[in-house]
Structure 1
Amino acid sequence: MTNSKRKDVVIIGGGPAGLNAALVLGRARKKVLLCDGGTRRNLMAEQIHGFVTRDGTPPMEFRRIAREQLRPYEGVEVRDVGISSVERIASGFRVVLAGGDAVECRRVLLTTGLVDERPDLPGYRELWGKSIFACPYCHGWEVRDRAFGVLATSAMLLDFSLFLTGWSRDVVAFTQGGLEVPAEQRQRLERAGVRLEPRRIRRLVPHGEHLEAVELEDGTRVAREVLFAHPHQRQTELVQRLGLALDEQGFVRINERMETSAPGIHAAGDLTTRLQSAIVAASAGFQAAAMINHALNMENADAGFPSEG
């Protein structure tokens, strides 16, 4: 793998989106630096699901295979390093790595994912990824027909409770005392067999590494084996510092070229969408890489293929 200071593209983030983008750009003969800061959102997840040929693969094994498959492409460099800053310069961008090293490039691709802000609920952190999940497509099959709970603190999450009946008919929606449920919505929940629990949760009761019950503020325990929750998400500090335009839900806005509000800075994966899974992120990485490569090829052709230095 090359180690040049001048790149066509710097990819920031080494998950499925970044890895697939690096593969596509490497095969397109581009000089790429993939920077992986090392902190995984799916750190607690045991396996990746819903990814054909990779269903059930542990996340770290997925990364090992992906990096191994990047090795034949001499234009691709992978570094386990964070990013301090991204600065616009006349020829594109200057990306400063943690530790002070700097690389110049023509395009930047952000595949940083998001930061999950887990609630301050006793037992939540310990059970996250073991009995507490966000995505039934990722984990629903493994916990099918078990006793589900849902942290349903919004109308959207009440609808999510209905949706989960496709995996289990034993669902309790915990509204945490602060949600008014209209009569029509109550009737929908009752028809589906979803029970409403308005009392606040005091703590989650574990049995070993798994959930046993949800303990309410008055001491009542509701036996549950699984809890689905959507914690608040925020952009990484780097994305926030770049000042990119966000949509009303806090995701980075991108256009049809997968480009952000900052020309030349593209984005792919979880930071752009609520539809978050490994295969969706990998697909977005492919799309972003193809868009970037097309733009670079056309620029090269129009300029008469200048020396890349």
Structure 2
Amino acid sequence: MIFDCAIIGGGPAGLNAALVLGRARREVLLLDHNQPRNAVTQESHGFITRDGTSPQEFRRLAHQDLMKYPSIHIQSSKVQDVKSHADVFELITEVGETYHARKVILATGLRETLPAVDRLREYYGKSIFNCSYCDGWELRDQPLIVISDTAAAYHMTMMMEQWTKDLIVCTNGNLVLTEEQVAKLQSKGIPVYPQKIQALVGENGQLQQVVLEDGVILERSGGFVTPQWGQAASIGESLGCELDERGGIVTDLFGRTNIQGVYAAGDSALFAPSQLIIAAAGGSKAAMGVNMELTVEIF
């Protein structure tokens, strides 16, 4: 069987793309290996009618919606490679399965590299987060820390000042702030600690203290980090998709890449801001682009 479209990735972008194409009566294959980046997240926010829903529940509800449409086929597989053969794409999974589709939507998302702080992963998604719009409200008015080893430290701190006035910055031994930025933060009552972090202290993922290498102890109940981002899969690059200066897949308004028949949606194309509702919207637009292209080809 040759599917009208194969969607690689079962996050909000891929799920919404499948929904739109299924409703357009297209034969759709959704390939999802169920290893989402937001698996550590307990609640997702900023998506109207789904505010506070866990990623697992969001996925369950989405699959429930998709099951209404008989032309949508969901396969729990990880795509290892995609090859272009004339007017059809061959998708090969890591276990050797092969599928064929006329169009492909890449919704593979991003991978994140956190600052090099011991045990940070234990707190990530519980009391330390990466998106102020997603989790700032839940940590409002608390004593927070911004941990950043990138130039994004200043921007993140500026944003967080909206949710709490009890805020500090730690650059973990990295000189990522200019003298002017440090002066501005301090003028706003935000101390900057350039020392390395020796330890994070807390229980059950709830931060209590940050211990610096010189013995300074900072009482904090949560915070935010600035990860470094990269493509979660190399499929787009292997196909020859153009990347922008940040590493995101370049697309037009409807998700078209520079490779004929290949679309991209969600975080892998937008790169930032990373939110469910934005990724889902990107999936919807890419699906419309695919459907439009298939229709034009028929006519």
* Band of TM-score, shorter chain: over 0.9
Query: Which position in structure 1 is the counterpart of 2:258?
Result: 261
User: Displacement, 1:192?
Assistant: 2.1
Aligned partner letter, 1:295? E
- 1:222 and 2:228 are equivalent in the alignment: no
Query: Which position in structure 2 is the counterpart of 1:177?
Result: 173
Query: Which position in structure 2 is the counterpart of 1:9?
Result: 5
- 1:143 and 2:139 are equivalent in the alignment: yes
**Seq. identity, %:** 38
Moved over 4 A (4+): none
- 1:106 and 2:102 are equivalent in the alignment: yes
User: Displacement, 1:243?
Assistant: 4.2
Residues 162 and 192 in structure 1, CA contact (< 8 A), matched pair in contact too: no
Structure-2 separation of matches of 1:36 and 1:215: 40
Q: Which residue of 232, 242, 247 corresponds with 2:244? A: 247
Residues 162 and 194 in structure 1, CA contact (< 8 A), matched pair in contact too: no
Residues 1:119 and 1:243: Cα distance change in structure 2 (over 3 Å):
farther
State the TM-score, normalizing by the size of structure 2.
0.94
Residue 186 of structure 1 aligns to a residue in which SS? helix
Residue 227 of structure 1 aligns to a residue in which SS? strand
Query: Which position in structure 2 is the counterpart of 1:55?
Result: 51
- 1:289 and 2:281 are equivalent in the alignment: no
Structure-2 separation of matches of 1:84 and 1:297: 29
User: Displacement, 1:182?
Assistant: 3.6
Structure-1 separation of matches of 2:75 and 2:179: 55
Structure-2 separation of matches of 1:47 and 1:151: 21
**5+ long unaligned stretches in structure 2:** none
Farther off after superposition, 183-192 or 202-211: 183-192
Deviations 1:70-116 (A, max 9, x none): 11211110111111210001222111123222111111001111111
User: Displacement, 1:180?
Assistant: 5.9
* Residues paired across the two proteins, number: 297
Residues 132 and 159 in structure 2, CA contact (< 8 A), matched pair in contact too: no
Residue 166 of structure 1 aligns to a residue in which SS? coil
Structure-2 separation of matches of 1:274 and 1:287: 17
Farther off after superposition, 132-141 or 169-178: 169-178
RMSD: 1.5
Aligned partner letter, 2:258? S
Aligned partner letter, 2:249? V
Query: Which position in structure 2 is the counterpart of 1:304?
Result: none
Query: Which position in structure 2 is the counterpart of 1:190?
Result: 186
Residues 1:175 and 1:9: Cα distance change in structure 2 (over 3 Å):
same
Query: Which position in structure 2 is the counterpart of 1:305?
Result: none
Q: Which residue of 58, 64, 68 corresponds with 2:60? A: 64
Residues 152 and 161 in structure 1, CA contact (< 8 A), matched pair in contact too: no
Aligned partner letter, 2:273? L
Structure-2 separation of matches of 1:104 and 1:155: 43
